[in-house]
Structure 1
């Protein structure tokens, strides 16, 4: 017959292996084998891809490196890692023994008269106590809590990656926009010179009797119209530069000084490997955050279920004390206690079971959120891929249009000088040139921004190529079903 002394430790070991609640399993969902306009070749790890260098712009390259080290939003997410690490310690602490020590010393006395006699005396009391408590984690409540905290820590690491990716998108887009507005200013100034030349020619012909006052007024109107557009372009440029300064955490004057003198619009040349939808599970930080959030909420089911079962707490204390009375006896006393405490949740109005249902519902919600994040990521890649594959055609056609309208302006101007055509033909040609040049600048801007969006959509470039990731605990890679969507 097995004695209670032998069976009790064995029973505790068996119960210690019990963990309530379901184990987290990587979520799965059917994904298409390829993007609608992509290939079937998979991407590797694209986290270190410095895609912005394809623009060949040294200032943009410097800004990207500078901001990855100085951006305030990224620094905030780094602090969240410290918070998540502390939460892991806190979550696991409940399942460990706790020890509390305390000590005290009290001096008391009397002085005066009592019953017609003098009373004096001093009492010195010194004591200490040590208390220990250990809640046996029989059903894995604290192990599940620590599991959930570790998943949240993984999500915090991925949040840094997501912040870097957002920063790169914001910076590159702002830089592209700043150069776009600079191009519009340059176009307006170039056209302003041409229209002023036309105004001078018209005034000369008015004096010669070959033009009317109406012609002069129309030419003046076009000059003033051009002048009115320049301040708006400069406002757009300044706002983009101010935002870049905010992203880099530097004064605006610093960026304005570096951007002065203008510069060509960033033009992407080359191709982008979009990979396949399954690559996004590994490369997109927001998908990893969603998966780790799901893992944390799954662990909370176990925490809630463990509260339904009995719990045992082992506790004990020891309190030695020493008392000294002046002029009389002294002595010491030591008291101690030890014993288990059993807690049985019998009736709570259904609160504990409601807690389990709440945790289960939260887990299902986070699974649906993970699915939605994956679907949204696929859409973002397909949208950007569709744009990038067509932008080059638009830019090429607009280049040809600008060239044609510039030739038409030269011909109409020469014809006007010879008196073979009217001023209206020249003004129309100038308007056409301006509109075509602005459309071309906008198309180049859109092409560059779509290139940025595509790289961000596939999750590329958030880790500096020359440095290891600040968080050396990347989130787990989640496997998905290889089934194709019909």
Structure 2
């Protein structure tokens, strides 16, 4: 019977070594509609390498985007977090591997009588001591403590890779948005300068009519007021233009003022040359890096349940050591070799409920991570729906405002001609100038908004973040239609 028990012990340990506690991670699911409210039923496929910003046909913008993807500091910081996560994977799995430590020490001691000191201790011969030690230990991961730890670390590594993609997508959004803003403020400055020229011409005409007795001092003062109010708007617009240019430079990891001169060379307001595709809601689970990062964080949280559960069970560590020592004192010398080997058992019996509380906390964290994943998916769907609704209507707004500008410009021409002929008052001209200015500013703002909504839609569907680098492996997660 004794030999049977001895033979069965390694078999039992082998069986236990394959036991991994805690739930296995399964892809989360969420119910999503078959299509967006204002989208089509055709899937987008992989849009990670779609350079959607080239639709603006702006070489300077494309150059800024390429430069930012290569040197943006937020992206580089996210890449450093990948290195940290890779190191954590090694650290998480190291505890289940055998450990070997080597140590050694040496010393020489003695005492010498230097004379004249009757109470001093007797002199001793020099003594040389040398010792060493070799110790080994191996934690038997019977319940998957370190296997689950490494599983969680690998999931966090995947999340770190996805976080780089999140940073790249955010960079695309910020650079293009800042560029659109800069061009918008340049357009506003141009409108203000054109209006200033027109209003100065009106002021000069009014002064001539005042000299001819066909206008009053009140007319001149009103015309001067409109000129000065136009002058007052230009500095603020110039400040906004510089602020947007500074933002672009900072995103490109350059000093803030680096691009102002280059941006001042001018350019038209960006307008997309083709319409973006929204795909279907299920595409977001594959294409949105923030959704993938959230899913990997959920996987790590599930693995941590197994780590917490394994801590409730006994742990066995096999250990051993060899310690040689050598001592020489005078002509006498001696050596000793000692060794030890055996298992160490640790069994948690009473800990005041700390381990159970840790398990409950891990389970709650996993449920929270699952809810966070659902929230991330639903937020992504909302962003696409909002952007789709805006993009579908922006064109109508811009077209109507273009017609409005044409109408008011014609009205201004007629009012000015009538004023020159003395058939209408200066007030009609000033009102017409205000209407033209307001309509032009509204048109510029609508063009800006149309471009920003185009950016928002492409970012919302997760497009373009992998341009310039190989597309990372995607996590396939099920979605219910």
Same fold (TM over 0.5): yes
2:174 aligns to what?
Answer: 170
Alpha-carbon distance in structure 1 between the residues aligned to 2:14 and 2:453: 59
Partners in 2 of 1:4 and 1:108 — Cα distance? Answer: 53
What's 1:388 paired with?
Answer: 391
**Offset of residue 117 of structure 1:** 10
- Which residue number corresponds to residue 476 of structure 1? 475
Q: 2:277 corresponds to which residue? A: 273
> What is the 5 A alignment of 1:158-237?
158-237=162-241
Distance 1:115 1:252 in 2: 80
In 2, Cα distance between equivalents of 1:147 and 1:118: 65
State the distance in 2 between where 1:254 and 1:106 align: 64
Verify the 8 A CA contact 1:155 1:475 in the aligned structure 2: no
Q: Secondary structure at the match of 1:125?
A: strand
Cα offset for 1:260? Answer: 1.4
CA distance, structure 1, for counterparts of residue 37 and residue 366 of structure 2? 31
**CA offsets 1:285-329 (integer angstroms, 9 cap, x no match):** 110111001000100100000011111111110001111112x32
Paired residues for 1:14-413 under 5 Å: 14-112=15-113, 119-326=123-330, 328-413=331-416
Alpha-carbon distance in 2 for matches of 1:36, 1:278: 14
Moved more, 250-259 or 20-29: 250-259
Work out the CA distance in 1 between the residues paired with 2:29 and 2:299. Answer: 13
User: Please, which of 450, 467, 470 is the counterpart of residue 469 of structure 2?
Assistant: 467
Alpha-carbon shift at residue 115 of structure 1 (Å): 9.2
Deviations 1:226-274 (A, max 9, x none): 0000011011101000111100111333311211122100011221110
Q: What is the Cα-based RMSD across aligned positions, in Å?
A: 1.4
Number of residues of Structure 1 aligned to a counterpart in Structure 2: 477
Please give the secondary structure, in 2, of the residue aligned with 1:3. helix
Report deviation, 1:133: 1.1
Contact in 2 for aligned 1:99/1:130 (Cα 8 Å)? yes
CA distance in 2, matches of 1:240, 1:104: 65
Residues of 2 paired with 1:233 and 1:256: CA distance? 14
Q: What's the offset of the Cα at 1:4?
A: 3.3
1: distance between equivalents of 2:338 and 2:25?
48
Quick one: distance in 2 between partners of 1:253 and 1:17? Answer: 61
Q: Find the counterpart in structure 1 of residue 425 from structure 2.
A: 422
Q: 1:118 to 1:293 in 2, by over 3 A?
A: closer
Q: How big is each residue's C-alpha offset from its partner over 1:349-381, in whole Å with a ceiling of 9 and x where there is no partner?
A: 111111111100000001000000000000000
The 3-state SS of whatever aligns with 1:150 is helix
Q: Match of 1:434? A: 437
SS of residue matched to 2:372: helix
1:116, CA displacement in angstroms? 10
Distance 1:376 1:226 in 2: 42
**Rounded Cα–Cα distance in structure 1 between residues aligned with 2:133 and 2:120:** 41
* C-alpha contact (below 8 Å) 1:173/1:452 kept by paired residues: yes
Mapped contact 1:158–1:475 kept (Cα < 8 A): no
SS in 2 for 1:277: coil
Where 2:282 maps in the other structure, the secondary structure is helix
Assess if the C-alpha contact under 8 Å between 2:93 and 2:149 holds in 1. yes
Task: Verify the 8 A CA contact 1:154 1:475 in the aligned structure 2.
Answer: no
Aligned to 2:105, the other structure's residue is in SS state strand
| 3-state DSSP of counterpart to 1:272 | coil
What SS is found at the alignment partner of 1:268? coil
Q: Secondary structure at the match of 1:132?
A: strand
